[in-house]
Structure 1
Amino acid sequence: MLYLTSRNDLMADAFFIWNRQLMFASLHGRDADMLSFQAQLQVSNERLGFRRPEEVLSCPRLTTAEHCLNLSKYMTKYQTLNYGSVTHMFLYSDILIQPNFDSKTGWVMLDDVTADLDKAAWELVRQLSDIPLLEHWQNAVLSVLEADKSIMRFTPRIDEEYAVVGVQAVRVDIPEDFDVRLTAMLQSGRLHT
């Protein structure tokens, strides 16, 4: 399903909005409309909303990004016989690109909405951790990190917390006392070497 944007007759096949911040959008449209949209993002704090074609509201509250800051873009054009040149643009927040090894935070975004988010989260935890982690610790460590919201999953849905369509994401934030927690889990027998 394609979603229409609130501005410039662009269509989105995927987007991610969290805390009213646009994190990611995959947009399609005519070249002139895309350029006009980019100019609007540069000069004003216009809201970017997404809606289904049958919805009458121009910007449904739950699918509106009020903050479009620190975005990078990747653009490509594809030729169509009926409509002329159509542009495909990916807008993405800079924090999605590279894990921050200083603060031990990172994101993984997947375009396959059926892919295993646990596997992606575990790989990121292993990258961010200063401590080597054994593969068979995955379930126990992920459950502890998820319990204290150090791992946040963003699966396709639209609600008060976030709006995700066409993608899924996971955010990992390794706590400062991660080594202490692992030691306690080893001592209690919850983790085995």
Structure 2
Amino acid sequence: MLYKISELSDLYADACIRDESGELMFLSLYGRDTAIQQLLAAFTLKESCGGLSGFRLTPVNDGDDRSVEQVHVRSPDRLTKFSGRLPRDTLFGNLVHTWIYDAALLKPDRSTKTAWFMLDEPFTPEARPRRLQGIWSLYKTLSPVPLLDRWRDVVIRATHSECVSFLEDSDHPPIGKVTAAKVMLTESFSDDVSRMVQAGMIGLNGEEEAYLEKARSANTMAA
């Protein structure tokens, strides 16, 4: 589905990610280069001077105003863009495909143990293995202690409620066929991993397999 940017003509988006407060993190945008440059310039101006502190995304061919999504742009200096031209022989003429994104999406912050995960497909059961692998990769990047790959299921299962926030569950879910999550390891993460080792949940000798099997058996009996 395409979404029209209400504030400017001839600009369309097929994907958008906002953070928990509705601030723009990622936008996949189509339009003529002059219109895209006009939008980017408007972000840097005060509203009293014709600038924009945000925009609305309205589904194309959808008359339901309730489906309009608001996107805030309070910190335009954080945004970066990457553009590529579409083939000129298309029905729509000379168009540009531009990605506008917050640099934080690409660079994990080890000082705050925070990183972002994105996937170019919807939040579905079929995409679960790719979500898990991507989130685990960020766990290993941010963790102050080494993590073995075979610990993945146990560690994520034990810590995801505190460390992983899927934006699908927020007031500002992803727009379009994209998935996004924020990974923020807690200050106690190292201690939590140590406790898992001490409890026999993970270890160097395959303890995690026995723990997962025990957990699966308990779930089967409960069902």
Instruction: Please report the TM-score for the alignment, with normalisation by the length of structure 2.
Output: 0.76
Q: Which residue of 1 aligns with 2:95?
A: 86
More helix by share: 2
CA distance in 2, matches of 1:144, 1:107: 20
CA distance in 2, matches of 1:80, 1:68: 34
Contact 2:18 2:172 in 1 (8 A): no
Q: Give, as a single letter, the amino acid of the residue that structure 1 aligns with 2:4.
A: L
- Answer yes or no: is 1:153 the counterpart of 2:161: no
Q: 1:6 to 1:68 in 2, by over 3 A?
A: farther
Q: Deviations over 1:70-89 (max 9, x none)?
A: 11111111233343310111
Q: Which residue of 1 aligns with 2:207?
A: none
CA distance in 2, matches of 1:56, 1:152: 29
**How many residue pairs align between the two structures?**
188
Shift of residue 15, structure 1, vs aligned partner: 0.8
Q: Which residue of 2 aligns with 1:57?
A: 65
Q: Deviations over 1:86-106 (max 9, x none)?
A: 011101012112011111111
Q: Give, as a single letter, the amino acid of the residue that structure 2 aligns with 1:85.
A: N
Q: Which residue of 2 aligns with 1:111?
A: 120
Unaligned runs of 5+ residues in structure 1 are none
Alignment match of 1:34 (pick from 33, 36, 54): 36
Contact 1:3 1:50 in 2 (8 A): yes
Contact 2:174 2:180 in 1 (8 A): no
Q: Which residue of 1 aligns with 2:152?
A: 138
Q: Deviations over 1:124-164 (max 9, x none)?
A: 1011112111122111111222122x112235x8x724333
More strand by share: 1
Q: Give, as a single letter, the amino acid of the residue that structure 2 aligns with 1:185.
A: M
Q: 1:16 to 1:65 in 2, by over 3 A?
A: same
Identical-pair percentage: 26
Alignment match of 2:73 (pick from 67, 88, 92): 67
CA distance in 2, matches of 1:91, 1:55: 27
Q: Deviations over 1:7-31 (max 9, x none)?
A: 2221111111221101100000122
Cα RMSD, aligned residues only = 2.2
Q: Give, as a single letter, the amino acid of the residue that structure 2 aligns with 1:13.
A: D
Unaligned runs of 5+ residues in structure 2 are 46-50, 205-223
Alignment match of 2:54 (pick from 43, 47, 55): 47
